[in-house]
Structure 1
């Protein structure tokens, strides 16, 4: 165990001693120590013993909450409902307004106690997230769920059926990252946002096929941002990760064909390619897909700062401007031929296959040589109009989603029985 790991270990041991005290004996200094030092055992113990927990760097959590704030018009409405289904020590809660309704779930007893001490305004529940039964309730579901571990819970205790969990001898089992995404989709209300840090293995792994399909059928893609391997190096892993932000579409939102039939590549000869193969449909209201790749997270794999300007900012701060600027469609980012076209699976369109066959990645790596790279990929169209609800809608109209959500709630309200 190196010096840094020893420091983390000692910090966790002292943290456990603090939370073991009677509540009235815990001081403000104790709480501050927990805030600054508790990291759980991710990277210090084998993954199976650490529960797949690798706690999120503060600036990554801040980026996610600030990106959601930008997508919400610059501020979170008072009383917004947040769910953090695997809260760890509560790093995401740090950046959520205290007037929000915050539900934080955590399986690990020590982590749950730490979070409840640091953030007394949050409703912290220690227990299995998959027993949480609120459905279609939350405006925002955020977090960094455990990955690389297996879920194993009593099937009889689940509030409903999970497509990503298989039932064996009364036990519901499956991959943690897939099951947590499904939980988020169930818990978010129509029009609500989901923002998770996830492993890049979801992009192509066979085990993730069901969750990719579920996302494709139920959610609008907002953004996918690749993170460098050193992002979680300080907590013990170099697993390639990404930030996925989606918005839950109202039930009944149809998948419709792309308005573009052929689209050209900047890097291939031979003219335009047919992009309507393989059942290329997207949810009505889906804008061009936004992708970015962060090349420098602010430190290297040894934890040494890479901040050249000394301002404490990282490439994530640079990307934040995109979430309040022209609805994630920058004027110089026309939609590229989609990277999923090379793998012949449109349900994977939310997960960029950033390689030499991906036009957007190749173009962005030349345009933004120092990073971060960012690009858009074609979905329903590049400004072409589509007939929708008796009118023509531009495929660059980013208010289309909002109108679909508003229409859903108007119809839902009209169907409610009148109050006596």
Structure 2
């Protein structure tokens, strides 16, 4: 705090390095890293998210790619972004914002309420670990536009932070852009999150979900269950596809199937270009509940590093048997290990599978549901049509 109190001209390189090593983005030093729903994100988790997006972008980010971190804290995600990117970072806490601006001077760090940020359809990537369970309470007339996840009464817009941050990300991302957030597991099933699940289904392709173990945030005194969800904002030229799920065969593991239907007979709706959703359950984050390293091989790599190759190739596991969404859900946000993958988790290995969306290679509007270039083609056609 003595460093933060200095004039910028008096802050030395040694001061900056001290902040980089010790500041947790919660206004204190490790292990005091929880404040108002914000958890310090381990740097290798932030790195994984950035590298997964790099893989989904063909192995590299375009020069000048636009990034938004709407709740940046001290900037752990900013550390891994390309130097030639256009990076905007929002932060409500004055101390954290100053730290982030000192550590990452190339980023445009903006002190203020993220929900007043009015750039729409602009960023190629929106990333972060937004606050969980924090009540949002803001003057409705200050918002740049309406929020479906906030309820307005007596001039105040109120709701839960995690849902509102997802909606903000969707608004800010350009069509065809990516969103990657660390979110509480309840997003997938809580009744309070129903509105945001509907919003995601109506506006996004679901790319992948990665379940993190309870030890991920053990270093800050919590075992909160979290998932990384990666979404891609649908372009207006993508048409809706209505489907119904069923099963074929008998025995313990019947085969899940999907059939295209009229809207009135369908279970749910996806968009053209939607591949099977890639799901992973990580069992080892690199340390145990006491913070001790679990690195058996001394190479500094974790299970997150091991699955990165999937994001540079196809997100469907070879010889995988895609399964229908859990318990008839109309989305794939529930990350629940299927029975045929349970043994991997019990053995301490990561489990990965695919959630069935448009079928097992069936033809949808003239394209195969297993054509993983289809989504990119739709985005390319949209961008070319706007030139």
Scaled to the shorter chain, the TM-score interval is over 0.9
- Out of 50, 68, 71, the residue aligned to residue 86 of structure 1 is 71
Contact 1:294 1:372 in 2 (8 A): yes
Name 1:371's counterpart in structure 2. 349
Deviation, 1:334, is 2.9
State how far apart, in whole Å, the 2-side matches of 1:208 and 1:351 are: 12
Q: Which of these residues, 309, 326, 332, is aligned with residue 321 of structure 1?
A: 309
Q: 1:386 to 1:86 in 2, by over 3 A?
A: same
C-alpha RMSD of matched pairs (Å) = 2.2
Q: Find out whether 1:335 has 2:319 as its counterpart.
A: no
Q: What is the Cα deviation at residue 269 of structure 1?
A: 6.7
Q: Distance in 2 between matches of 1:23 and 1:311?
A: 38
Question: Does structure 2 retain, via aligned residues, the 8 Å contact 1:164–1:211?
Answer: yes
Contact 1:218 1:251 in 2 (8 A): no
Equivalent residues of 1:289, 1:350 under 8 A apart: no
Query: Are residues 1:350 and 2:333 paired?
Result: yes
String of CA shifts for 1:114-158, please: whole Å, max 9, x gaps: 000000000000000000000000000000000011111111110
Match among 373, 379, 384 for residue 399 of structure 1: 373
Q: Equivalent of 1:105, from 70, 90, 103?
A: 90
How many angstroms does 1:385 deviate by? 1.4
- Alignment check: 8 A CA contact 1:39 1:235 kept: no
Partner of 2:339: 362
1:39 maps onto 2:17 in alignment? no
- Going by fraction, where is helix more abundant, 1 or 2? 1
Deviations for 1:237-256, whole angstroms, at most 9, x for unmatched residues? 21100100010001353321
- Give the secondary-structure state (helix, strand or coil) at the position aligned to 1:19: coil
Q: Quote how far apart the aligned CAs of 1:62 are.
A: 0.3
- CA 1:156–1:308: 2 relative to 1, 3 Å: same
- 8 Å Cα contact 1:298-1:306 kept in structure 2: yes
Equivalent position SS for 1:17: coil
Residues 338-380 of structure 1: CA deviation (Å, up to 9, x unaligned): 133x1x331x32333x16xxxxx22223357432110012110
Deviation of 1:272 (Å)? 6.4
Aligned 1:10-409 pairs, distance under 5 A: 16-41=1-26, 50-251=35-236, 253-258=238-243, 262-264=246-248, 268=252, 279-325=267-313, 327-336=314-323, 338-340=324-326, 342=327, 344-346=328-330, 348-352=331-335, 354=336, 361-366=338-343, 369-387=347-365, 392-409=366-383
- Quick one: structure 1 residues 121 and 52, their matched pair in 2 at CA, closer, same or farther if it must change by over 3 Å? same
**How far apart, CA to CA, are the structure 2 residues paired with 1:233 and 1:46?**
11
Q: How far does residue 24 in structure 1 lie from its aligned partner after superposition?
A: 1.0
Displacement of 1:279: 2.2
Q: Cα 1:350–1:34, aligned 2, differ >3 Å: closer, same or farther?
A: same
State the distance in 1 between where 2:45 and 2:253 align: 40
Secondary structure at the aligned position of 2:3 is classed as helix
Question: Cα gap change, 1:272/1:172 in structure 2, threshold over 3 Å: closer, same or farther?
Answer: closer
Aligned equivalents of 1:263, 1:291: Cα separation in 2: 20
TM (norm. structure 1) is 0.86
Deviations 1:247-270 (A, max 9, x none): 000135332134x86444786377
Q: Which moved more, 1:363-372 or 1:86-95?
A: 363-372
- Per the alignment, in what secondary structure is the counterpart of residue 174 of structure 1? strand
Deviation at 1:45, TM superposition (A): 7.4
Matched-pair contact (CA < 8 Å) for 1:54–1:237:
no
The answer as to whether partners of 1:254 and 1:284 remain within 8 angstroms in 2 is: yes
Give 3-state SS (helix, strand or coil) of 2:95's partner.
helix
Structure 1, gaps ≥5 residues long: 1-15, 356-360, 414-420
Distance 1:74-1:274 versus aligned 2 partners, 3 A rule: closer
- Other structure's SS at 1:31 match: helix
How many residue pairs align between the two structures?
Answer: 380
**How far, CA to CA, are the matches of 1:265 and 1:17 in structure 2?**
68
